[in-house]
Amino acid sequence: MEDKLVTLAIRTYQRAQMIKSVLEQNGIETQIHNLNLEHPEMAVGVRVRIKESDLPRALAIVEEKEKDWELEETKDEPPKGRKIIIPIDLTDQINEVCLYGFQFAEKLRAEVIFLYAYFTPAFTISSNNEISTYSLADSEMLRRIVNTNYADVENITNLINKWISAGIVPDVKFRFELKEGVPEDQILEMCKKEKPVMVVMGSRGKKKNDEEIIGSVTAEVLEACNVPVFAVPMNLNIKSPADIKRIAFLTNFDQKDLIAIDTAISFFDREKLELIFIHASQKKDTWDEVMLAGIKEYFSKHYEGIKTEYAILNREENLNQIVQFLEETDIDLVALNTKKRNIFARFFNQGIATKLLFNVDMPLMVMHM
């Protein structure tokens, strides 16, 4: 049975050629599809395709090489200004996401970058020596898709300007970036390039069905993003970051949790905050309570005015006890610091951030310190 081709990545033509070269040096046969030779000005993603049996090894190679390339590209870059990225998909949730994003931007004195990622159909009409090209009809279809997306961006821009004029959202600088490709890939790529202080995204909360869970862009970004991500659920009663008072922080006593907690506090009005530190343990351990009491005392001393408390929950009862505790104690925001995991770990085992995303109807802030 012939080994079918699968898409490994969607990149610019230059980056796709780099990936192709590296993979072939490692003995992996690679093809480039969807290169528009007739109209090179069309900014369409180039697909890197390989045999399905080579996928695990190719992913590991490309992930490692792209880290090296990114470090090389950014080592001489000047420091960036403060930015907040708001990925949008033209859903009904854009109002809530914009409101939070603009209010965070006002507090942090940041620029807002809207990222609108769209995905075009794969065209591989003709092929010559491993490179597939578009026909003229394909190019015209792609041009219509791009023009439609630019029209959508113009409509959203006009809407946001009306909101600013009406005082619905703060008057902060904003701009749009229109990118072709897989949304989660484009979001993560832009975060590496722009180095924002935060990403603000929408989520469906616990009413998502199974099909939506599998393809959730927000879940993928929560697990892999290198900057804090603030997920806003639909129909949220809390309409402003200024209204967030009670923050629950899930901790495993990692030293970097202190940095993450400090980062979370910086986004809000600390004079009004209440911090609840939560640790889930398989069995009762006096040392856990000592550690939580120490964290509580540390933040009470360093942030006068912030109320602090802690709770130890039973890990054997899995997520249910955590969700019940959050709902019963009127938590406004759940925050946690978690380690980034590779694509296979995320595929076979959902992380705590993803589980919370789909099981609570409250904002979620995830950091990877």
Q: Do residues 322 and 313 lie in contact, with contact meaning Cβ atoms separated by under 8 Å?
A: yes
Domains in the chain and their CATH numbers?
A: 5-74 (3.30.70.1530), 83-230 (3.40.50.620), 240-367 (3.40.50.620)
C-alpha span between 121 and 142 (Å, rounded): 9
pLDDT tens by residue, 104-125: 999 999 999 999 887 766 544 4
Distance CA 252, CA 236 (A): 28
Q: Has residue 75 got a pLDDT over 90?
A: no
For residues 28-38, average pLDDT: 73
In Å, what is the CA distance from 261 to each residue of 94, 183, 225, 339?
28, 29, 17, 15
Q: CB–CB of 298/267 below 8 Å?
A: no
Length reported for the chain: 369
Question: What does the pLDDT look like over 198-237, one tens digit per residue?
Answer: 999 988 655 554 444 434 788 889 888 989 999 998 878 8
Q: What is the largest CA-CA distance in the chain?
A: 71
For 33-37, what is the mean pLDDT?
A: 61
- Which residues sit opposite 229 in a β-bridge? 199, 366
DSSP string across 311-347: EEEEGGGHHHHHHHHHHHTT-SEEEEE-----HHHHH
168-172, 326-330, 343-347: range with lowest mean pLDDT = 343-347
Task: Give the pLDDT score at 334.
Answer: 92
Most confident of 101-105, 338-342, 346-350: 101-105
Tokens read off for 163: 């909101």
Element (H, E) at 114: strand 111-118
Nearest CA-CA partner of 232 in 364, 102, 366: 364
The single residue listed with the structure tokens 């900014």 is 43
The highest-confidence range among 41-55, 164-178, 296-310, by mean pLDDT, is 164-178
Q: Is pLDDT larger for residue 336 or for residue 206?
A: 336
- Strands lying side by side in the sheet with 229-233: 174-180, 111-118, 83-88, 198-203, 229-233, 364-367, 333-337, 246-250, 274-281, 307-314
Cβ(322)–Cβ(278) under 8 Å? yes
Neighbours of 282 (CB within 10 A): 8
Q: Which of helix, strand or coil describes residue 288?
A: helix
Residue-wise pLDDT tens digits, 269-312? 877 889 999 887 767 677 788 888 888 888 877 787 888 888 88
Phi, psi of 353 (to 5 degrees): -65, -45
Q: What CA–CA distance (Å, rounded) separates 296 from 71?
A: 38
3-class SS shares of the chain: helix, strand, coil, % to 5: 45, 25, 30
